[in-house]
Chains A and B, each alone.
Chain A
Amino acid sequence: MTTVQDLPQIKGVKNIPLEEQFTSGHRTCQGCESALVMRLMIKAAGPRTIVVGSTGCMYVANTTYYSTPWVVPWMHTQLGSSGSAATGTAAGLASMMRKGKMKQEPINVIAFCGDGGGADMGLSAISAALQHDEYNLLILMYDNESYANTDIQVSGSSPWGANSTFSPPGKVHRIMNKRWKKNMAPMLATGHPNCRYVATACGSYGLDFNNKIRRALTIGGPTFIHSIDPCPKGWDYDPKFSHELGMLAIETGLWVQYEIIDGELILNGPSRSIGRGIRKRKPIGDYLTRQGRFAHLTPEDIQYFQTKVDETWEKWWMPGVIPLTMSDE
């Protein structure tokens, strides 16, 4: 395994590097949290990094030919290929360095994908990438909970009941998306014994986000981070609330912040105090009624949503994380 870069944990916002590796030239929406996620991701990783991005908003709106926001080398990969792109890039570098065809140097390899590219189409390639512990790579799934780039179509990562161009509330069927959001991070953490680091994150917590990226890049081997990205376009809210909605997702207990390091689960941020029962979860209505995509939900719908969230904290074997219960027998 090639060595990793020296990227220490950042102590305090004042010590976050000023250097930007993702600047301007992108044409993302006003208040695009995913653009922030890109910026925080590469700010933490630094200039000796190669980024490969699969199709989605962060490809199409970020890099429209002849303009790019990237200071670091960046390359597009296909919608379902973030795992393969990371593996191929890391393998090419590793092979050439080992054979003396390229200068020996730890180069970060990060592949990102949206929820459509990651939780749906690219799942098998990500799973394969997480088995190759000879390669240092990070796969970041920025999750805006729909195929936002192509006009907001429902994905396997969209929340129950959400309005989308493929799940519009109608006169007969109010709820068109009856699927419950995929539980990506635990699925990958429990399914890949050699993967040393899996985390969830949210751009609203910039420092925490930076440090999770650094942990993922320095622990060695393939790693995975799933970030929740409020999307003013698809969730339908005033862009200035991107930050606040990210926090609300966590404070209501719908989204859980944690790291899984060598199989050990560490809740962090508000999720930590919620998990320890120190902090009360905000009612899910506070989150749902702030977004146009849920405007059609009835009070009963919101109650149902609340019950499902309660279950994850009260019934799950590992609260908020792993949807299993231990049999009494």
Chain B
Amino acid sequence: MSTVAVEVVYRGIFQKTLARNIVRTIVFAARKEGKIGTAFGRYGDSPERNGIPAKQFAVVADDPEELDETLARYEPTEVDVTINVDDTLCKGVESWAWYGLQPINQLTKPDGTLIVTSWQDADSLIRDMHQKDAPIGLSIVKGTVSFSGLWVYKDDHTDVRILGTLAKVCPQLVSLESMLEAIQEQMDNETKVASAQKSFDLASVRPVEPGEGNPETPYKFELPGWKTMEEGVVIRGIEAGAGFRGGDGGYQPVRSEVFKKYSTRSMRPVINFETCIKCTLCWLQCPDTCFDVTPDGLYDANMESCCGCGVCEAVCPVPDCVTMVSEADFEDNNSQYEMWQEDKQGYNSWMTALVDKQKAETRTHGFHHVGGYAEEISEMTEA
């Protein structure tokens, strides 16, 4: 009996179409070999929120009875391949509909594979991933993480490049031929078939040994029972805030203990506290109440709340005072203001490096203007 399950972990809305293209093409490719399959998204993730992690699955089996064995449980408990289409999700996944942080490799079978689209090298990706007690393989599809919105799809071939890689790292799923056939049939585009072939040829797997990766235990949440839950569908509100870090000056709201926005973020702001003119706009216009107000009137983005939308950068009137940089460049969620307080010079050079790096590799989060995606893609192909 051979059933193969694949999950695609993606950013809600931004990558919904991308994930859908991947899981559907997998099933069509399997049909080429007379296998049966199904493709679906976690119902608990819908309605999706843009940027908030979500999942889709493709399950392929030799015959319908085998397929039922897996489908008897709505969400697979383990998958042969985990496809992560945004490398910042290597830090873990917290869907909007559940509690607790799920390591990116949680469902990946022993000796299964994790495919990640990223410009990062294996070591920096593994640093973000939680440790597992079994070995898995890591295969990187080099490239800029692909984001687009609900209505207009950015067809930068990410879908087929992943499918090509998948055919290489998981031959028991489908042959390359079937995959290419399905791509041609589904997408009716020779160049996409070629991209898939190219990715297949380039694909390699880096073994990830037990004990490699982030040693932290991911945040877990124990669900209370009906006897301890309050009646009347009541929960307690958030407590009133106080001064910055509990002191007299500034202000810091109390924040939710059960849901932090760590995994909802693919970028985060870095602040130049020395060019800040204290205009209040980043703080005032933040939809996520993420700025703590310091006693000296500066604004410290608190990573418990920030979901990385970039509005603070957009409203800041000072050039390079607030800059959104890739979440991948951070190992922790520490306060930038405190870093700056401890070592201003060190902070400034650290910050400047991040800002320059960001300018080198622009990360966009969807639709900018009609024709924008075409421009981005031509830039990519030139590079």
Contacts and interface: CB of A to CB of B under 8 A. Distances in A.
A291 B367 CA distance: 7
Contacts of A24: 238, 253, 255-256, 259-261, 288-290, 304-305
B235 A65 contact: yes
Contacts of B310: 30-31, 238-240
Contacts of B251: 18-20
State which size class the interface on B falls in: 35 or more
Given A35-B287, A240-B311, A163 B151 contact: yes
B49 A31 contact: no
Interface in B293-326: 293, 304-305, 307-311, 313-315, 324
A151 B16 CA distance: 12
Contacts of B210: none
Contacts of A31: 50, 287, 309-311
A23 B368 contact: no
A23 B315 contact: no
B46 A238 contact: no
A217 to B, nearest CB: 19
A36 interface: yes
Secondary structure of the A contact surface, majority rule:
loop
Given A29-B49, A65-B235, A243-B311, A238 B285 contact: no
Contacts of A150: 47
A237 B366 contact: yes
Interface in A220-275: 232-234, 236-244
Contact of B149 (A47, A72, A292): A292
B152 interface: yes
A69 interface: yes
A36 B285 contact: yes
Given A47-B240, A68-B238, A238 B368 contact: yes
A35 B305 CA distance: 12
A69 B238 CA distance: 7
Interface string A1-32: 00000000000011010111011111111111
B365 A233 contact: no
B377 interface: no
B47 A239 contact: no
Contacts, number: 208
A117 B47 CA distance: 17
Secondary structure of the B contact surface, majority rule:
loop
A20 B47 contact: no
Contacts of A39: 286-287, 289
B270 interface: no
A240 B313 contact: yes
B151 A292 contact: yes
B202 interface: no
Given A65-B235, A68-B256, A236 B150 contact: yes
B49 A27 contact: yes
B150 A152 contact: yes
A233 B261 CA distance: 18
B97 interface: yes
B293 A25 contact: no
A289 interface: yes
A289 B372 CA distance: 10
Interface in A31-81: 31-36, 39, 47, 60-61, 64-74
Contact of A149 (B47, B258, B280, B369): B47
Nearest to B97: A64
A110 to B, nearest CB: 15
B353 to A, nearest CB: 22
A106 interface: no
A67 B258 contact: yes
B367 A240 contact: no
A35 B52 contact: no
Given A18-B251, A24-B290, A13 B279 contact: yes
Contacts of B307: 28, 30
A40 to B, nearest CB: 8
B51 interface: yes
A295 interface: yes
A77 to B, nearest CB: 13
A74 B237 contact: yes
A132 to B, nearest CB: 27
Contact of A242 (B149, B237, B264, B311): B311
A48 B279 CA distance: 28
A239 B366 CA distance: 8
A239 B150 contact: no
16 contacts: A13-B279, A23-B305, A26-B288, A27-B96, A28-B307, A36-B311, A39-B287, A65-B233, A65-B235, A67-B256, A206-B285, A236-B149, A238-B366, A239-B51, A292-B152, A292-B366
Of all A-B residue pairs in the complex, the 3 with the closest CB atoms, nearest first, are: A25-B256, A240-B310, A236-B149
